[in-house]
Amino acid sequence: MAKLIFKKDGEENISVVHPVARDVIERERGVAFANDADYMAFVQERSHPKDENEVDIPGSWRQCEEADLPASREFRDAWVDNQPGTQIDIDCARAEALVRAQMAAEHKANLKQLNEDLEVAQDMNDAAEVARLNAAINAKKGALAAQMAVLNAMNNAGKVNDESALQALRDARDAYSNA
C-alpha cells in the first residue's frame, strides 16, 4: 500500500503517513471515494500537520511505497527526502547527531544514578564504595570521551545511506553503553 510523505517547507524532516485502507475508511466513515486520487486527497487532508493555531503547516506531499522506506526505523529521525528518486534516505550526519544525543542522555542518566549512590556511600562513610563509585564515574566519563573522539573523527557530512558510517555510529553508541 502506498505511503504518504509530508515534508515541511524549508526543512528536511519528513513525516510518513501510513493510510488506513480505503475500504475501512469508506465503511467506517460512510463515504465512497470515486477513485484512489480522491481517497489519497482525503487522507492528506486528515493527516496534514497543523501548528498551535490549527493552521496547516506549509509543505509538500508525495507518495511512496513501503520498499522506498529504510528497512529499519533505527535512525528514523534522520530520514530525509532530498535525493533524486522515490527512496527515503538516511542522512548520516543527522544520524550522528542522534547518536550523540542518545549517548549524552544515557551519560546524564548514568552519572545521576552514580552520583546519588556516591552521596549515600559518603553519608555512610563507606570508603570502599566511595572509591568504587568514583572509579565507575571516571570510567563512564572516559568511555564517553573515547566514543565522542571516535565520532569527532568521522566525516558524515553529505553521506546518505552509507552503511559503514551507520555501523560505525552503532558501534560507538554500543561501546559507550557497554562500558
Residue-level pLDDT at 79: 95
DSSP-assigned letter for residue 86: S
pLDDT tens profile 61-119: 999 999 999 999 999 999 999 877 889 999 999 999 999 999 999 999 999 999 999 99
- Between vectors from CA 82 to CA 84 and to CA 152, what angle results, nearest 5°? 120
Residue-level pLDDT at 12: 84
The answer on 106 and 53 residing in a single domain is: no
CA distance 81 to 87: 7
pTM of the model: 0.83
- Of the candidates 38, 69, 100, which is a domain's last residue? 69
Does residue 74 form part of some domain? no
Asked if residues 160 and 80 have their Cβ atoms less than 8 Å apart, the reply is: yes
pLDDT tens profile 103-146: 999 999 999 999 999 999 999 999 999 999 999 999 999 999 99
46-50: long-range pairs with CB below 8 Å, 24+: 47/4, 47/6, 47/15, 47/17, 47/19, 48/6, 49/6, 49/8, 49/15
Tell me how many domains the chain contains: 2
Helical H segments across 91-126, by residue range: 92-123
Does residue 79 form part of some domain? no
